[in-house]
């Protein structure tokens, strides 16, 4: 046997096989005004028909509608890998005449998932924790406006430190190529100006080949992605059938990189960065939440001061970040402390017993 070959190079394969068996959980949120092609895009991305029975309410019904959070789950299997995809939709966002604070339910929802995870993580039965945290939020920007609207800015600032944001321009076939470029640049400038942190795609490894690096840079340069979705297959006179939208003046092909960034989005979201999105959610966003949460518990007197200064640093909007039900979490932590203490006591007792029996044993040996 080769002495240098230990064999742990097979570890990735083992991990891979384990996770394939376990399957993946992924929660994707879509947000933005209605009519920007969100549902069509989701169906196109995941080749599903999640929104088949949807009833779009009339305008008069929407006059008094408040924002609701809807969850749809679907299991997708491909190449032996099972993904349990949860889609979180926000119908009603941006619809009303007065949209003040309409993003608060969304923020609360995201934080509730973190809270649930924190609770589960601190609990006893951690084997089957369900991860319902939102791993990614696709935010749809209108192609008809002149960049981010006040509502877009308000929403993004409320959630950018709690969820990975990937900005997307919906219905991008409304734009000519020059207009698309100009709009993308405007949005990028505005994001920088408003200090909104969107999801940063990680740098490629230095040992990747030039082609890959170029492709990666190109992809990053096309953010926000200008997308077109379609669930219809069109056949353009003899050529192979493609998914697209047929107009009197031509056909837009969803998967044609000259027409829109759909392929880029799909590649980045599904094929290469699904895992990274989960990791960033866990390592960065969730940890941030957890730290804030526990810190504010640890120093109850200083709580108001720190959270207030955090508020002024994080967001210039007047809206205070929704407070966690601290009383509950506090109680939980105390309960856990109690348990730990009891377990400690038990351990000590057991140790004492063991020592006793050992001592007795020695005595009897000695005798």
Partner 1 sequence: GLPETRTDTAMSELVPEPRPKPAVPMKPVSINSNLLGYIGIDTIIEQMRKKTMKTGFDFNIMVVGQSGLGKSTLVNTLFKSQVSRKASSWNREEKIPKTVEIKAIGHVIEEGGVKMKLTVIDTPGFGDQINNENCWEPIEKYINEQYEKFLKEEVNIARKKRIPDTRVHCCLYFISPTGHSLRPLDLEFMKHLSKVVNIIPVIAKADTMTLEEKSEFKQRVRKELEVNGIEFYPQKEFDEDLEDKTENDKIRQESMPFAVVGSDKEYQVNGKRVLGRKTPWGIIEVENLNHCEFALLRDFVIRTHLQDLKEVTHNIHYETYRAKRLNDNGGLPPGEGLLGTVLPPVPATPCPTAE
Of the pair 18, 192, the CB lying nearest partner 1 is at: 192
What's the sign of the alpha-carbon dihedral 335, 341, 346, 350? positive
Beta-strand pair 136-141/24-31: parallel
| Cα distance between residue 134 and residue 282, in whole Å | 10
How far, in whole angstroms, is CA 72 from its chain's centroid? Answer: 15
Q: What is the total count of residues that contact partner 1 (CB under 8 A)?
A: 48
Q: What are phi and psi of 98, to 5 degrees?
A: -110, 105
Instruction: Give the contact letters, 90-129, x = binds to partner 1 (CB under 8 A), - = no.
Output: -----xxxxxx-----------------------------
List the one residue from 50, 74, 151, 263 that touches partner 1 (CB under 8 A).
Answer: 151
Q: How far is the CB of 274 from partner 1 (least distance, A)?
A: 29
Piece of 77-85, 145-153, 266-274, 289-297 that binds partner 1 (CB under 8 A): 145-153
Longest pairwise C-alpha distance within the chain: 104
Q: Are 170 and 140 in contact (CB under 8 A)?
A: yes
Q: Are 310 and 292 in contact (CB under 8 A)?
A: yes
| Using rule CB under 8 A, residue 239 touches partner 1 | no
Of the pair 138, 228, the CB lying nearest partner 1 is at: 228
Q: How far is the CB of 160 from partner 1 (least distance, A)?
A: 17
Of the pair 6, 61, the CB lying nearest partner 1 is at: 61
| Using rule CB under 8 A, residue 241 touches partner 1 | no
Q: How far is the CB of 92 from partner 1 (least distance, A)?
A: 10
Question: Per the structure block, which two tokens stand in for 113?
Answer: 């998932």
Beta-strand pair 225-226/136-141: unpaired
Q: Are 168 and 37 in contact (CB under 8 A)?
A: no
Instruction: Give the contact letters, 165-194, x = binds to partner 1 (CB under 8 A), - = no.
Output: ------x-xx-xx----xx-xx--x-----
Q: Are 88 and 71 in contact (CB under 8 A)?
A: yes
Q: How far is the CB of 150 from partner 1 (least distance, A)?
A: 5
Within 63-92, the residues that bind partner 1 by CB under 8 A are: 63
| Cα distance between residue 177 and residue 260, in whole Å | 9
Binding residues (CB under 8 A) for partner 1: these are: 33-36, 56-60, 62-63, 95-100, 142-146, 149-151, 154, 171, 173-174, 176-177, 182-183, 185-186, 189, 245-253, 256, 258-259
């Amino acid at each position: 046997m080769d002495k240098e070959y230990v064999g742990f190079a097979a570890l990735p394969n083992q991990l891979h096989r384990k996770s394939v068996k376990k399957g993946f959980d992924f929660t994707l949120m879509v947000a933005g005004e209605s009519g920007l092609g969100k549902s069509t895009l989701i169906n196109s991305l995941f080749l599903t028909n999640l929104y088949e029975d949807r009833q779009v309410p009339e305008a008069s019904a929407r006059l008094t509608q408040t924002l609701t959070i809807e969850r749809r789950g679907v299991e997708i299997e491909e190449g032996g890998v099972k993904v349990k995809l949860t889609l979180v939709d926000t119908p009603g966002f941006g619809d009303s005449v007065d949209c003040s604070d309409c993003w608060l339910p969304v923020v609360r929802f995201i934080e509730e998932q973190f809270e649930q995870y924190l609770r589960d993580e601190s609990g006893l039965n951690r084997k089957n924790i369900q991860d319902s945290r939102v791993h990614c939020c696709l935010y749809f920007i209108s192609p008809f406006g002149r960049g981010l609207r006040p509502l877009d800015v308000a929403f993004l600032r409320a959630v950018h430190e709690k969820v990975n944001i990937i900005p997307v321009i919906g219905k991008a076939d409304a734009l000519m190529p020059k207009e698309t470029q100009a709009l993308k640049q405007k949005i990028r400038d505005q994001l920088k100006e408003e200090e909104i942190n969107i999801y940063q795609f990680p740098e490629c490894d230095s040992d990747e080949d030039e082609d890959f690096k170029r492709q990666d840079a190109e992809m990053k340069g096309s953010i926000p992605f200008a997308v077109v979705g379609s669930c219809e297959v069109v056949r353009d006179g003899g050529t192979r059938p493609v998914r697209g939208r047929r107009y009197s003046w031509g056909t837009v092909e969803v998967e044609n990189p000259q027409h829109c960034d759909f392929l880029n989005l799909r590649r980045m979201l599904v094929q290469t960065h699904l895992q990274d999105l989960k990791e960033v959610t866990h390592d960065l966003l969730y940890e941030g939440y957890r730290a804030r949460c526990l810190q504010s518990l640890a120093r109850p007197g200083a709580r108001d001061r720190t959270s207030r200064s955090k508020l002024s640093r994080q967001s210039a909007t007047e809206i205070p970040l929704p407070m966690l039900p601290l009383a509950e979490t506090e109680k939980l932590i105390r309960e856990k402390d109690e348990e730990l203490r009891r377990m400690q006591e038990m351990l000590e007792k057991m140790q004492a017993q063991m020592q006793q029996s050992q001592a007795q044993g020695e005595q009897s040996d000695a005798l």
